[in-house]
Amino acid sequence: MSNTDLEDELRGTLDRAAASVPQATGLSDRAATGARQARRRTWIVSGAAAVAVAAVAVTGFALTGGNTPEQPPVAGGVAPQSTVPTTTAVQPMSAKTVAGTWRATQITGVKSLKAPRSDDPVLVFKADGTWSGSDGCNPLQGTFTIGQRGEFAAKIGPQHMIGCDNVPHTGVLQSAKRIEVAGDTLTFTAADGHELARYARAG
């Protein structure tokens, strides 16, 4: 067999093989369809990622209490002191509360408290529940009781009654139903609440 015959036979064999291969119709369409499906999968994945990010954000929002701003840290780690005022304990009244010497500065209906007298017109209360003093002319004495809220009662002992422009301590003590001490001021109050007299601490 010559070379020419061999070449012709080989070319025919290749032509028959090529003819037996089916034509790939719609290849470009399938390629485009595959690209669209790939993009759709990309969008689905991107959408799922966005939903996951949103869920994490909502969860974080709930855990942090919404949009409430955080409290600034306290300098030095010391908590601020409360501004609520504390209640000051009131000292109960007793005989010791009024113990001492007192001089009248105001008695209802009396205008001559500063008039000259032979004796110093003072009242002296003692912690044992007794009292003494002078109205300016006559010595005075007696006993008294005081409740924790200032309830007051006094008894007048025997006394001489020398006539003079005296200070009516006994009238104040007998009429008073309540007593109050504020600093160096002693106040006697009647049963109806009106003020009877004020005394200043003299010793």
pLDDT for 135 equals 93
Token pair of 68, please?
A: 């409430």
Give me the helices (H) in 64-101, please.
95-98
Q: Is residue 50 part of a domain?
A: yes
The 3-state DSSP class for residue 154 equals strand
Predicted confidence (pLDDT) at residue 125 exceeds the cutoff of 70: yes
Cα 156 to Cα 29: distance, rounded to the nearest angstrom? 128
pLDDT range class, residue 31, cuts 50, 70, 90: very low
Which is nearest to 93 in space by CA: 12, 147, 19?
147
Q: Is residue 133 part of a domain?
A: yes
Residues 39, 116 within the same domain: no
pLDDT in tens, 67-100: 444 555 545 555 455 455 444 444 578 999 999 9
How many domains, the chain?
2
Lowest mean pLDDT among 20-29, 48-57, 96-105: 48-57
- Which tops the pLDDT comparison, 31 or 139? 139
pLDDT for 33 equals 54
Collect all residues with Cβ–Cβ distance below 8 Å to 94 and sequence separation of at least 6: 146, 148
Which is nearest to 169 in space by CA: 127, 129, 139?
139
Return the percentage of the chain with pLDDT > 70, whole number.
55
pLDDT for 95 equals 94
Collect all residues with Cβ–Cβ distance below 8 Å to 108 and sequence separation of at least 6: 194, 195, 196, 197
Structural domain range at position 112:
95-201
- The label of the residue with tokens 């009248």 reads 104
User: Can you give the pTM of this predicted structure?
Assistant: 0.55
Judge contact between 118 and 165, C-beta under 8 A.
Answer: no
pLDDT in tens, 165-181: 789 999 999 999 999 99
Q: Is residue 104 part of a domain?
A: yes
Residues 123, 175 within the same domain: yes
pLDDT for 65 equals 47
| DSSP secondary structure, 129-157, as one string | SEEEEESSSSEEEEEEEE-TT-BEEEEE-
Give me the helices (H) in the chain, please.
3-20, 27-63, 95-98, 169-175
CATH number of the domain enclosing 105: 2.40.128.270
Q: Is residue 77 part of a domain?
A: no
pLDDT for 190 equals 97
Q: Is residue 1 part of a domain?
A: no
